């Protein structure tokens, strides 16, 4: 608890370009959480190193992600938005927690198996111990709640196991985090294959809508979206393509599925695809305008980064010093 509020922790990797799936599924819903929680949001650049990065492009993407957080409506005065790599406690706590994590637990992590299959030429130790660094991210700030998608549930489970194991040995050192149960963001699927999640790493350029896409390109991608041979705009399990478009339209406009089905009753897929594209463009236009303003205002972004890095460092150090003392590490002479 900080200032009477529970602590909420989340973040995104500084790789690739964010999609509307990242926005509607998470980022959009983060904006008002600071009213109820003390929020920490990381630019998770250390996690990104499990894949080889071009250093110049990597730094640019990390800054771009920071600017997108703010452009989406996260106020850096009300939320702690910081760079993971600027707080050394993440790496330091991760090493200590490695010594309280069992090989069998890491062997069961499905994400390691999935990523190893996709990056067979670079199956590194960081990829294997990734869940421990994620546990350190969460536990470092004594997080009470963590928003998790279906693909992150395992990571929160192992974080809880590590925290409970450590607490069982040394007392109540860590807050054991719970999954955040709140407004559920839309699960946005690929425009070219609605059976899989929209991804910022999809090789098909027409499969994903990126937050910084040219707006005309956004409309073209929606025109090419795969639907089905039926021409009825109806939400149904057997119609994944059109159901995905309904989800996107709902997320962009706030309309319910029933309202959307009624609005487009008797209309064809062409009209609906255009309407979905225009609704998404209406969301992206102000976000892109604000993002471009922020990138030009280097002094403002730099001041936000400095101030929030210092805040994150302060709270991280409180936990880290406690952990170091518990495990018997010699304190620095100050």
* Alpha-carbon span 38 to 26, nearest angstrom: 17
* Alpha-carbon span 333 to 17, nearest angstrom: 44
Q: Residue 277 in contact with residue 245, Cβ under 8 Å? A: no
Rounded to the nearest 5 degrees, what angle is found at the Cα of 202, between the Cα atoms of 199 and 204?
135
Q: Please, what is the angle between helix 269-296 and helix 55-71, to 10°?
A: 110
DSSP state of 179: E
Strand partners, 44: 13
* Alpha-carbon span 133 to 327, nearest angstrom: 18
DSSP state of 81: E
Sign of CA dihedral 86, 89, 95, 100: negative
Which of 301, 303, 313, 311 is closest to 63 using CA atoms?
301
Q: Which residues are catalytic?
A: 115, 197, 200
């Amino acid at each position: 608890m900080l200032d009477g509020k529970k602590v909420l922790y989340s973040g995104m990797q500084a790789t690739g370009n964010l999609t509307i799936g990242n926005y509607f599924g998470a980022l959009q819903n983060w904006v008002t959480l600071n009213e109820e929680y003390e929020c920490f949001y990381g630019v998770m650049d250390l996690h990104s190193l499990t894949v080889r990065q071009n250093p110049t492009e990597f730094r640019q993407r990390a800054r771009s992600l920071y600017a997108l957080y703010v452009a989406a409506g996260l106020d850096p005065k009300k939320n702690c938005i910081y760079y993971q790599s600027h707080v050394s406690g993440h790496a330091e706590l991760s090493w200590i927690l490695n010594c309280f994590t069992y090989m069998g637990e890491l062997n069961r992590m499905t994400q390691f198996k999935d990523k190893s299959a996709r990056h067979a030429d670079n199956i590194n130790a960081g990829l294997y111990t990734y869940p421990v660094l994620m546990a350190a991210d969460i536990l470092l700030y004594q997080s009470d709640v963590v928003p998790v998608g279906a693909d992150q549930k395992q990571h929160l489970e192992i974080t809880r196991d590590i925290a409970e194991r450590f607490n069982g040995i040394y007392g109540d050192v860590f807050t054991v985090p719970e999954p955040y149960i709140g407004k559920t963001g839309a699960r946005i699927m690929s425009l070219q294959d609605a059976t899989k999640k929209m991804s910022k790493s999809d090789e098909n350029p027409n499969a994903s809508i990126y937050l910084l896409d040219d707006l005309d390109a956004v409309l073209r991608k929606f025109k090419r979206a795969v639907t089905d041979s039926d021409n009825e705009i109806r939400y149904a399990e057997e119609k994944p393509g059109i159901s995905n478009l309904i989800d996107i339209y709902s997320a962009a406009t706030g309309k319910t599925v029933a309202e959307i089905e009624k609005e487009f009753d008797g209309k064809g897929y062409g009209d609906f695809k255009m309407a979905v594209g225009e609704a998404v463009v209406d969301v992206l236009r102000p976000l892109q305008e604000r993002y471009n303003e922020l990138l030009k205002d280097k002094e403002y972004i730099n001041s936000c980064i400095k101030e929030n890095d210092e805040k994150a460092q302060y709270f991280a150090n409180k936990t880290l010093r406690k952990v170091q003392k518990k495990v018997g590490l010699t304190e620095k002479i100050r």
